[in-house]
Structure 1
Amino acid sequence: MPKLPRISSREAIRALERLGFEQVRQTGSHVVMKKAIAEGEIGCVVPVHQELKVGTLSGILKQAQVTVEEFIDNL
């Protein structure tokens, strides 16, 4: 499994949009994103920061049910 890169929240949001997520709303410094799937919806919350910590990005990917490889391919 490749290492997660240190990226900004803007780059993470753009990659998630390429994976089919769309921005639903922004409350303060957190962007809520959702994706419709056959079983319902998947949602994730991305904090708006200059640089996301690796643990934070890992948590976002778990919420979004996206693998590290898929995410890196869409950066």
Structure 2
Amino acid sequence: MSDKTPRLTAKQVIKQLKDSGFVEVSQTGSHLKLFNPQTRRSAIVPIHTGKVIAIGTLKAIEKQANIKFS
């Protein structure tokens, strides 16, 4: 397996977060806030339809949520 960070869209990131137990809390403009009641962690995902999330932003979301995207 490669340790390379995948190139994902906001829709793909949100799906993986929801599959990990996150739920939508609120949305301000183009930023969606998700919260996991079990781990008490929150993550903010920028939603720009059809665009791939930048690597640095994706890594920051991984750190916030304490999960690894695939």
TM tier relative to shorter chain:
0.7 to 0.9
Q: Which residue matches 1:42?
A: 41
Structure 1 length as normaliser, TM-score?
A: 0.81
Secondary structure in 2 matching 1:12: helix
- Bigger fraction of residues in helix: 1
Secondary structure, counterpart of 1:13 in structure 2: helix
Q: In angstroms, what is the RMSD of aligned CA positions? A: 1.4
Deviation at 1:37, TM superposition (A): 2.0
Pairwise mapping of residues 23-38 of structure 1 onto structure 2 (< 5 A)? 23-37=24-38
Give 1:60 shift.
0.3
The superposition leaves residues 17-50 of structure 1 with CA deviations (integer Å, 9 ceiling, x where unpaired) of: 0011011111100000000126xx1101001122
Query: Equivalent residues in 2 for 1:1-75 (5 A)?
Result: 2-37=3-38, 41-49=40-48, 50-66=51-67, 68=68, 71-72=69-70
Report the Cα offset of residue 54 of structure 1. 0.8
Query: How many residue pairs were aligned?
Result: 67
Percentage of matched positions with identical amino acids: 36
